[in-house]
Amino acid sequence: MREDLADLYVESRVTAPGDAYRRPSCQNFLNRLTTDMRRPGFAMVIGETDRLMGCAFGFPVRGDGSWWFGFDGVLPRGIDQLTVSDRVFAFGDILIRPHPQDRGLARRVQERLLTDHQASLGATLVDQADRATSAALRSWGWLDVGELRRPPGPTTFRALVLPVGERTTARLAGLVTMPGGGGPGGP
């Protein structure tokens, strides 16, 4: 299935003309996938018709909060509480092949992973320069909660979360999202 996932990555990450951001290579994606597959609790959900149409994969965030290492500022209290209670699931990637017939596929693969892991919150990191991915995630209900830097690289990430259910959404009601991909930490 590696080849199908590589094709899906390439098709789902087409760069718009004039977009200065250059997405990581397909090999980089496959290396990240291989690394994530080794994490405890790794899971993947795929959506297919006559071919692979989309997938989402990730792993549970450890309750020690190490996934949030490098967060700029103080992690919002609700997120910290959910992390400690092992209710956060980190998405390594969400890949959806552009297809006008099935716009709800992204929502369904995300919900399936979160439900299967009994998570109250999805979390992901997006390269700050990748405005197209940030915009797509926000259109699917993700909230930008701040900035995060991971050594050893110079890349700055936006930390995004996807609350599940009314109780979780209410806990995170104080989070501010800003247009254009910024969050409490700024654009």
* Tokens, residue 128: 């700050």
pLDDT at 173: 52
Confidence tier at 162 by pLDDT (50, 70, 90): very high
Mean pLDDT of 36-42: 94
**Predicted TM-score of the model (pTM):** 0.82
Q: How many CB atoms lie within 10 A of CB 170?
A: 11
pLDDT at 177: 38
Measuring CA to CA, how many Å separate 162 from each of 27, 76, 173, 175, 184?
Answer: 27, 14, 12, 12, 16
pLDDT at 102: 61
pLDDT at 171: 52
Measuring CA to CA, how many Å separate 175 from each of 2, 55, 70, 81, 144?
Answer: 38, 28, 19, 14, 8
pLDDT at 125: 95
pLDDT at 6 over 70: yes
pLDDT at 25: 81
Q: To the nearest whole number, what is the mean pLDDT of the chain?
A: 82
